[in-house]
Copies of this chain bind each other. A is one copy, B any other.
Amino acid sequence: MDILLKLIIVSLCVVVVKPSVIIQRYEDCVLDTELVEEIASYKNVTKYIVNEIKENFGRTMYQEYTEFIDKFGARPSGTDVLERAIDHMINLTKSKGLNDVTTEELEVPHWVRIHESASMLEPHKKHITILGFGPSVSTPPEGITAQAIVINSFEELDKVNSKYIQGKIVVFDAHFVSYGDTVIYRTQGASKSAKKGAVATLVRSITPFSIYSPHTGAQYYEDNVNKIPTAAITLEDADLLRRLQDEGEKIVLHINMSSTFDTKKSRNTIVDLKGTEHPEKLVIVSGHIDSWDVGTGAMDDGGGMMISWFVPVILNILKLKPKRTVRAILWTAEEAGLVGAQAYLNKHIDDLDKINLIMESDEGTFKPLGLDFAGSKKARCIVQEVLKQFAPVNKMENSGYPGSDIVLFVRKGVPGASLLNQNEKYFWFHHSEGDTMNVQNINDVVDCSAFWAAFTYVIANLSVDIPRT
């Protein structure tokens, strides 16, 4: 499991929403006139799909989404509530008249936080809110009391002599730059600190904004390195500890954490709208159904899961059956390290050439903007041509690593696309108690859904496959 997790977490680290967005226009695209005309001919049907979702079916979908989130709330990997949520989505699919629903079972991590508390003992007493990273180990039952040292970066950690780290609690105080740049302190901080003798790590939450809100997430223990407890603290407490250290104060913290960790069975859920001409060819549209154990996973990734699930469902309702199979996948155990996606990849490794395009929405369902696309230049030209009819939802980004789960497939050469949306505040709520329906807006989610479904339909029905490199 560790090696898998390692691979997976390293993947997670590079799934970056870079602040400097690379938006490329392929002005030099030369597509066959016939193809351009074919794409243009979809204008009426995309308009139809968009209108039907915006004016009619989208509101019901949003209602079902809300009920799903309200009923199940947080759906952590390995829990019964996640399995019940999966069953609910299976039943909901069938209730919509789409019966081609299957699941693929796999073993998933099951980390359960039991008790977490911390306090500053010196230079004065103060409660410190912590939120453990999964799957952190527990402290001894009596907790850990140790001096703290505040460190800005791995570069600074490298420079500090181990004798100053030995026996201490390392507090990483790296300010949010981008998720990718900053999340490394969450994912790798414990092992990097443990190598130098630290007894625990606390990490400034990976967010640019806080109302004393801690943010959890996955972390990875390197092999053959002492596993030490690791948890998030708020921006407020990170700044406080930094100030106290800068003032020359000796800081002593007490941490007490307990959790359990084993594995359980879970399922990827597959909803197919079979292709009329090439049922073996797949356009996959996906989101993950699991969430962290704080908040309700409405944003991460309830919204993305829902609009992706809705693609085959609404096309079926509208009796729009494209040439290729439209497959919605509700990944399980994404938060535990893309575990569901990895299992699917392993199982279907010999059929990757059947995947025409793999899509995921896992970066919010705020106002839709377009796509983050990875694929060959020809592929980009086709996607750009299709996007034209969705203006102003026609931006194309090229981060190199669209999506979260789907990055595993993109790396194998499968063209991939992630939903671009106006998600500037995404990390304010991400992996925190603030990830609830309150961050969502019905019109934005419905707009995302309309774009997502209509775009998928065109790709799945095109006369040409999305060309690979």
Contacts and interface: CB of A to CB of B under 8 A. Distances in A.
A192 to B, nearest CB: 26
Interface stretch (A180-188, A208-216, A407-415): A208-216
A451 interface: no
Q: Which of A247, A428, A434 has the most CB of B within 10 A?
A: A434
B212 A434 contact: yes
A468 interface: no
Contacts of A428: 211
Interface stretch (A67-75, A93-101, A441-449): A67-75
A428 B428 CA distance: 13
Contacts of A436: 212, 236, 240
A429 interface: yes
Contact of A124 (B66, B71, B129, B236): B71
Contacts of A434: 210-212, 236
Interface string A31-75: 000000000000000000000000000000000001100110100
A235 interface: yes
Contacts of A247: 67
A377 interface: no
A110 B95 CA distance: 58
A421 B438 CA distance: 29
A429 B432 CA distance: 17
Q: How large is the interface on A (under 10, 10 to 19, 20 to 34, 35 or more residues)?
A: 20 to 34
Nearest to A129: B433
A35 B390 CA distance: 66
Contact of A126 (B73, B126, B211): B73
A10 interface: no
A234 to B, nearest CB: 8
Contact of A438 (B239, B244, B437): B239
Contacts of A244: 70
Nearest to A67: B247
A243 interface: yes
Contacts of A235: 438
Nearest to A69: B240
Given A67-B247, A73-B126, A432 B211 contact: yes
A70 B436 CA distance: 32
A214 to B, nearest CB: 10
A433 B213 CA distance: 9
Interface in A208-226: 210-213
Contacts of A212: 213, 295, 432-434, 436
B211 A243 contact: no
Contacts of A126: 73
A244 B66 CA distance: 10
A241 to B, nearest CB: 10
A236 B243 CA distance: 33
A207 B254 CA distance: 33
Interface in A91-109: none
Q: Which of A71, A211, A244, A295 has the most CB of B within 10 A?
A: A211
Given A70-B243, A212-B432, A213-B213, 20 more contacts: A66-B243, A67-B247, A70-B244, A73-B126, A129-B433, A210-B211, A211-B211, A211-B433, A211-B434, A212-B213, A212-B295, A212-B433, A212-B436, A236-B434, A236-B436, A236-B437, A239-B437, A240-B436, A240-B437, A243-B437
